[in-house]
Amino acid sequence: EAFEPDVWDCMWMCLGDLNLDAFSKESSQRKLLQWPEKMYMGWSYMGVSDVDKSDQCMAPPEIGFKLHTEQFTLPAWAMTDKEWKKNEKEWAENAIEKLQQYTTNVNWDIVAGYTPVTPYYTARMARNYAPAGNWAVIDNTPAQMGRFRPIAELAGYRVPELKGLYCTGTAWHPFALAWSTQGYNCYKVIAEDFGLTKTWEDRPF
């Protein structure tokens, strides 16, 4: 707060450092299937005042708030089950240690619980994200973004040789994110095929 007075208005931040080589080094280690020696976690905060208080999965009133962390890491298949389970605990410890560098009141005494949503976890809870457990299904690399995502043959949402079957999701245009763009794009294709209401007419999108 002393460094950035507006920090309380921030719902998302990344706690990194001033080393310009940090991210290239981290990326190189991941490409070599090595666990990054230094973590640069992204953080988001969700308090009960920010959401419908009836939504217990976001931030139950008796808890008060939820912290969410993100970190680029290894694909699920890069480590064994035992290694991932060990990693889940270490990740939580690292998260608390990182917060203690920036705060004065964070320790395990105030933690009600945690869920380690790792690539290992994701690949098993949602099989369509297997085998890598990638939230984006496929990586957001320059070659896999835009109108030809995920591959040119499927980018139009229709499934070749299977009339009436359509596919969409976070692996489709324009890139992975928690939004409705892919489903909306797919609806446009379905509407054309079945003569459905074209909700996008007289609108800029």
Compute the Cα dihedral for 148, 152, 154, 159 and give only its sign.
positive
Cβ–Cβ under 8 Å, residues 105 and 139: no
pLDDT digits (tens, 9 = 90+) for 182-205: 999 999 999 999 999 998 888 877
- d(Cα 26, Cα 41) in Å, to the nearest integer? 12
Cβ–Cβ under 8 Å, residues 172 and 159: no
Tell me the Ramachandran region of residue 120: left when phi exceeds 0, alpha when psi lies from -120 to 50, beta otherwise: alpha
pTM metric for this prediction: 0.75
**pLDDT score for 51:** 47
Which string of b and e fits 151-179 if b means at least 16 CB within 10 Å?
eeebebbbeeeeeeeeebebbbbebbeee
Q: Is the pLDDT of residue 165 over 70?
A: yes
Average pLDDT score over residue span 90-97: 89
**pLDDT score for 155:** 93
Token pair in block for residue 45: 């905060």
> At residue 141, what is the residue type?
T
Q: Which residue has the higher pLDDT, 9 or 182?
A: 182
- Among 179, 180, 182, 81, which residue's Cα sits nearest to residue 133? 81
**pLDDT score for 63:** 63
Phi, psi of 70 (to 5 degrees): -135, 145
- d(Cα 98, Cα 15) in Å, to the nearest integer? 8
pLDDT digits (tens, 9 = 90+) for 168-177: 998 998 888 7
Q: Which residues pair with 65 in a beta bridge?
A: 47
For the chain, how many residues are written?
Answer: 205
